[in-house]
Amino acid sequence: MKYLKLLILPLMVFILSGCLYPQSEMSKNQLSNQEQLESIQNAVYEYQSQTNLLPIKTREQDTQPFLKYPIDFSKLRERGLIGEAPGNSFENGGHYQYIIIHAEDNPVVKVVDLKVTEALRSLQMKVEYYVNENKYPPLNNKIARGVYDLKYEQMGLDEKPTVDSPYSDKKLPIYINERGELLVDYRPELYELMRNEEHDYETGDDIRYLLTDHTPFAPAYSPAYTIEGEEPVFAEDLSSS
């Protein structure tokens, strides 16, 4: 079905072949990860300076912003800007997908944690099975406008689905929209950052970028959020009030 393909296609693009790295490996390699991120950022700047273009792969126009501009390392290699893809990248057997945000005005390199992708891919199979049996997505209670929790028991799950946060040891809820697309709820992480970091985001702003302002990770598969009364809220919920 069409709405299932909307999620399946980007998931299949970012799926990691083989086992994902354990959390301890991520912590142990933090320094080298940051060095690789900075190295690719410099290569992207240089590529743009030389070509007036960005070294990215083509995606559909309506692809969500944190999956829309994956870096094409072959373009950087062709100009001698890198030797090979970073060791922690998907292309080199690693567990990160390197992407660009703010592509139109100030391209910044971030990474998508592929453990999130893997968790959603696995759950997507259950969503697909449910839709094949029932002809509609497993929408349960309304969380916000257009956002629902899942009929997890009818999907054969013992508990509400969550995913390990790329940002902390939190478990983040997984929701679904009316098109059958799975969503990760990053409000717990946004709330922590709003409490602990200075920012100038206002009501109506997309505060997902608060996460990329302070960390290397992009909040992939997230709905848009904004601020209301010093709390992170779904942007769609605010627009309906």
**pLDDT reported for residue 32:** 59
Distance CA 83, CA 61 (A): 30
Cα 36 to Cα 16, 45, 89, 158, 212: the distances in Å are 19, 14, 9, 39, 17
Domain residue limits, the chain: 14-113, 115-239
pLDDT score for 74: 97
Q: What is the mean pLDDT of each run of 10 residues along the chain (241 residues)?
A: 45 40 42 82 97 95 92 98 94 95 95 95 95 95 96 96 96 96 97 94 95 96 93 80 45
Q: What is the CA radius of gyration of the chain?
A: 18
pTM over the 0.75 mark: yes
Distance CA 63, CA 195 (A): 31
Task: Spell out a b/e string for 19-33, using b for 16 or more CB atoms within 10 Å of the CB, else e.
Answer: ebbeeeebeebeeeb
Q: How far apart are CA 199 and CA 207, in angstroms?
A: 10
